[in-house]
């Protein structure tokens, strides 16, 4: 009888230990996402792609859950990230609204021992475990080469850039590097805030101030749409072409129709799917294969637009 009771006690003990190790909330693998709000089409598509990928990872059992946050400004995004840290998520994927403003909380994430995947806009410190980004310098370089070729090495051009960030700086630097030594002159450079509406207003002012423009380099497809609207409304016929960046299907359609936008350079919002998958791997304790993943800045023009166009794409 004593032997039976001892065996029973052992069985019950094993059962209790087994339940506590498999059902506790602490055993869940949770991924945190901290993204900007959808202020323009590219970001809206990126947000949708991020959530689609996170849901898929829950469904296939890679992670147990995800915490999804968006913010309109750096202060709110900082607060969102602090909340994710407090919740004890196993990894965080963040697209910083502003590089410098979000770097301090990114350092807090690192200090907390939480893996951090940064998408698109780089930090000003080394807090990121992995960075997933497009080739921003490459976008500028490829655009500059296109301008030199199409304008025969000479012309007056306008740059519609984004707000201050690593993305904007690298796209500007690459463009200037690429046109150096030519007779192409940047006669105006304005911040279009990665917004179609803002770029429309900014371009209206540029058109009023500049009586002769040969082409316009915009750092974003959404901004390119605002620029060409301003050009059409002003009935300007001197501008030979506009370029964008991103890979929006609406811009692809304009290229297909031989419209004013003649080329764009890939910077797909699908990159966030790679970031979410990497974040899930890190959350599960896996080591990062690389500290940096860079999406090539492929030129899309009439020669290859059909290969890249997808009518069902989010962007």
Mean pLDDT (the chain) is: 90
Architecture of domain 29-133+269-294: 3-Layer(aba) Sandwich (3.40)
Mean pLDDT value of segment 43-50: 92
Check pLDDT > 50 for residue 38: yes
pLDDT digits (tens, 9 = 90+) for 258-305: 999 999 999 888 899 999 999 999 999 999 989 999 988 999 999 999
CA distances from 36 to 39, 44, 89, 194, 299 (A): 8, 9, 19, 13, 27
Strand order across the beta sheet in which 116-119 lies: 65-71, 30-36, 91-94, 116-119, 130-134, 292-295
> Which residues have a Cβ under 8 Å from the Cβ of 72 and sit 6 or more positions away?
36, 37, 39
C-alpha to C-alpha distance for 206 and 185, rounded to whole angstroms: 15
Confidence of residue 26 (pLDDT cuts 50, 70, 90): low
> Which whole number is the average pLDDT over 244-251?
92
What is the rounded average pLDDT of the residues 128-152?
Answer: 96
**Span 136-268+303-308: which CATH code?**
3.40.50.2300
With b meaning 16 or more CB within 10 Å and e meaning fewer, what string describes 216-228?
bbbbbbbbbbbbb
Distance CA 175, CA 158 (A): 12
Domain boundaries, the chain: 29-133+269-294, 136-268+303-308
Which pTM was predicted?
A: 0.72
Query: Which residues touch 94 (CB under 8 Å, ≥6 apart)?
Result: 33, 34, 35, 77, 81, 102, 106, 109, 116, 117, 118, 119
- The reply to whether domains 29-133+269-294 and 136-268+303-308 share a CATH topology is yes
- Residue 224: predicted pLDDT: 97
């Amino acid at each position: 009888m004593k032997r039976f009771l001892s065996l029973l006690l052992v069985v019950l003990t094993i059962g209790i230990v087994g339940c506590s190790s498999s059902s506790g909330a602490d055993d869940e693998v949770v991924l945190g996402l901290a993204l900007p709000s959808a202020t323009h089409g590219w970001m809206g598509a990126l947000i949708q792609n991020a959530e689609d990928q996170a849901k898929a990872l829950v469904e296939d059992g890679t992670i147990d859950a995800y915490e999804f946050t968006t913010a309109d400004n750096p202060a709110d995004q900082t607060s969102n990230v602090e909340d994710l840290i407090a919740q004890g998520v196993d990894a965080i994927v963040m697209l910083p609204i502003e590089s410098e403003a979000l770097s301090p909380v990114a350092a807090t994430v690192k200090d907390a021992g939480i893996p951090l995947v940064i998408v698109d806009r780089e930090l000003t410190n080394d807090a990121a475990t992995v960075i997933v980004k497009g080739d921003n310098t490459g976008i500028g370089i490829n655009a500059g080469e296109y301008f030199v070729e199409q304008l025969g090495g000479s012309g007056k051009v306008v740059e519609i850039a984004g707000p201050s960030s690593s993305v904007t700086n690298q796209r500007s630097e690459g463009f200037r590097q690429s046109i150096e030594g030519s007779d192409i002159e940047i006669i105006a450079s304005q911040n279009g805030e990665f917004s179609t509406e803002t770029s429309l207003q900014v371009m209206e002012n540029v058109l009023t101030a500049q009586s002769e423009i040969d082409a316009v380099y915009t750092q974003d497809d959404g901004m390119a749409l605002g620029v060409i609207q301003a050009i059409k409304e002003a009935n300007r016929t001197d501008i030979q072409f506009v370029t964008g960046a991103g890979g929006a299907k609406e811009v692809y359609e304009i290229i297909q129709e031989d419209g004013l936008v003649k080329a764009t350079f890939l910077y797909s919002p699908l990159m966030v799917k790679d970031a979410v998958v990497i974040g899930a791997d890190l959350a599960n304790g896996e080591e990062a294969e690389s500290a940096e993943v860079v999406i090539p800045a492929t030129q899309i023009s009439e020669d290859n637009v059909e290969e890249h166009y997808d009518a069902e794409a989010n962007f």
